A and B are shown apart, each in its own frame.
Chain A
């Protein structure tokens, strides 16, 4: 399964090489052209059947949140800082893979036996945590993991039945959806796929990818927050697992184009594909950068709901994943120049 391969790959923002190799291998035979741009985005082009003169961009980011080594102490422990949004509550005791050699590392934690009164109730700060790679001295630590070495969680992909668990579903789920779309039949329009870099640290890859592609419209494919855990008040979850792909109307980075939202919701309704509207006002995606490109690009985001994103292990429903692929494929096959016409208004 391409999702397993992508999920287990090492690809913290700025260091997406392993993911890029997997993507290149997965799509090369199914597209007309593929290249890597100056910032490291994979740009793949799949010619249309020629019946719609349109350039459509699909984007999914290859990078994941992680850690970077910023120091070494005299006993051989590594100091690390977050790359992207990492929740320090989740770090103590986790197993990491460190550097291009993927050497195992553990984020050190004091055993429960030794905790002082009240200490267990406090959340340690990232600045106070150390990564233990078994080094016995500063020199050895510096040799194993020099300054600037990246680290990510060492989480294996796991099938749990209708759901799967693994790391980096944000946004390897989107990458996997995009690979599936590229492997299928041609669309009527020219499809430009961008597997982007550095989304988690500022939507950087998507910005230059969109500049190069000059699309007429764009779809960002994501793995997004599902927070459908038990709650005592009747209020909104961001998205829910098992309710289908989530369509963004508005988040903190952009307002989705209503014509594209309508294309997706009407396609879903017509074919009975489950889908949900992501709770407006939360998060941000590559669409935030893409829509501002050149003269502007009508954009929307479609996401696979994932519980526990930005943590060592997330969980998604394969039904949601398959429905995201299907909803995108069916919607794109209905997308024409008319979809973007405004009429008199």
Chain B
């Protein structure tokens, strides 16, 4: 799965411009899908039909299940190009100025720029504001600047596999939520038979407005929905307390700022993990939310939960996950889908 994650994280796909990442994912899943479509806002919906379980001989006895991971990543968008060709920008999703200075960003064309900061600031010891940052793509004037207002860019950082004793750690940008996409792809590939009608949704515009999962779920009308996304951890120096650690297994969401996981979904995940002796943790997230928050409110309501992959430094250009957690997420989802 390492190579798959590598490919996914290094593909361009800020919220609202998911064409490139969608094409990559589509190529990975096409031969495993019974049906595949792109819905009106651009989410990729991959349907795996349920098959009758051994002995019963009846089709359609399972449930309609949505597994959702978002394809989009955070980024920046050009708001203005000045006379000298420097591009001012705003954020797409939850980007902090603290992670911006000195980083490189890439536009859809692959063109790279560096983020600079104004030197004349009242207090240079403070984190600058977005208004004090700019992207330098090497232009010398507004006329020769190759980027324009409305163009979107994403962080540039190579995918690396940490060396040494803890060699199960992966470091990359956009693990949020390409690692979730990888988990979905791998689950689909390994899933030979399931009694359920399973819809793998690679959603758009999660980082901005949770739009894609909400509208896709409306079209599918599922009985149950599980978001697969990253969550923060409480295992780094002087961090906010949180009972989730890297490498201790996937986290079953109890609640976050946007939702309380439906007890049916939470208990299902916990029970299957116990039965298959898959390590897991329970997650209470104090900030942030996932596609599950939007999915639970669709139509007459959908029992929804979330399987989270513990991740350090979320929304920075260098996020970190543990390969073991990723593998165990796939195993747990397979257990959930194989059983009736």
Contact = CB atoms under 8 A, between A and B. Distances in A.
Contacts of A256: 16
Contacts of A216: 40
Given A236-B79, A277-B150, A280-B149, A294 B215 contact: yes
B312 interface: no
A235 B131 contact: yes
Contacts of B208: 250, 254-255
Contacts of A291: 41, 211
A322 interface: no
B180 to A, nearest CB: 20
A253 B209 CA distance: 7
Interface string B37-78: 011111100000000000000000000000000000000011
Contacts of B82: 234-235
A280 B77 contact: yes
Pick from B42, B92, B216 the residue with the most CB of A within 10 Å. Answer: B42
Given A235-B131, A280-B90, A280-B149, A295 B218 contact: yes
A255 B40 contact: no
A261 interface: yes
B80 interface: yes
A245 B216 CA distance: 32
Contacts of A235: 80, 82, 88, 131
Interface stretch (B3-11, B17-25, B241-249, B323-331): B17-25
Pick from B16, B92, B131, B148 the residue with the most CB of A within 10 Å. Answer: B16
Interface residues of A, number: 29
A291 B214 CA distance: 11
B205 interface: yes
A297 interface: yes
B102 interface: no
Given A281-B77, A295-B39, A295-B216, A255 B90 contact: no
A249 B209 CA distance: 15
Interface string B195-235: 00000000001001101101110110000000000000000
B23 A250 contact: no
Nearest to A238: B79
A151 B77 CA distance: 39
Given A292-B214, A296-B40, A296-B216, A236 B92 contact: no
B22 A294 contact: no
B11 to A, nearest CB: 12
Given A235-B131, A258-B16, A280-B150, A296 B80 contact: no
A234 B77 contact: no
B209 A254 contact: yes
Interface of A: 216, 234-236, 249-250, 253-258, 261, 277, 279-281, 288, 291-298, 342, 344-345
